[in-house]
Every structure is written in structure tokens, then in C-alpha cells.
Amino acid sequence: MGARGPGRRCSQLPHADAITRADANFDETYARVAEHGGPDVGGAHPASRSPFGVDDLVGNVWEWTTSSLAANEGIIRGGAYYYDEVTCRSVNRYPWSPDTRDSTLGLRVCTSVPPTRPTGGS
């Protein structure tokens, strides 16, 4: 399973085959005006939520991932605010040097949330 959902789902993006300015943070979101672009707050574009309820798998910042094809190879996916719709497709994968530092790169930290305990009472 991947960003596009279980099995062989044919979408090019986590939510559909195309994106609009409102769907995700990519170059057209802020009319390609460089001083208006940059990373948005996580979850700012719920229209592009994946079938698993995961936000920001398209646009905003590239996500560092590990390669399933080569050991110790870093891969970036998902496009970023500075890039076009084609680059933001979930199927795109680009090998990237781990030494690269850039404002268009990010990573996702995933963890389990411990259950909350009721407060108060006896």
C-alpha cells in the first residue's frame, strides 16, 4: 500500500488524478509568485487527504523516504510548494543526496498516540 491507497489504485495523486490551487501547496497555489510561496501549516489542504487520512502527501515539502529498491538510498516524493502538478504526483520518486539541505525538503515523523486516561473521579 502507498499514498494512493490499497492495491492497484490508478490515481496519480493520493486523492485524485489532478490537483487544483485549493487542493495542495504547489507552484500554482500562490500564482507562482516566489515571495508568496513556502511551506504551509500541516493539514492546510484537506482536499488532498489520502484514503488513509494522511495529509500533505502532495506538495508542501518533498518527503524524505527510504528506497524499496536500493539499500541506503534516500528518495524524495510528493513534490513541494515550488514545483508543478506533474512533479507532485505520488508515483514520482527521485534519488537525493542525504547531504542536501533545502527549504523544499522535509520528513514525516510517525508514532502511535498513547490512549488517554480519564481524569478526575474516584
Q: What is the pLDDT of residues 26-35, one digit of tens each?
A: 999 998 888 8
pLDDT in tens, 82-119: 999 888 887 788 898 888 888 899 888 878 888 888 77
Is pLDDT above 50 for 1? Answer: no
Query: E strands along 1-122, which residues?
Result: 62-66, 74-77, 94-95, 105-106
Q: Are 67 and 73 in contact (CB under 8 A)?
A: yes
pTM score > 0.85 for this model? no
Cα distance between residue 11 and residue 90, in whole Å: 9
The pLDDT score that the predictor gives to residue 27 is 92
Please give the Cα distance from 22 to 79 (Å, whole number). Answer: 16
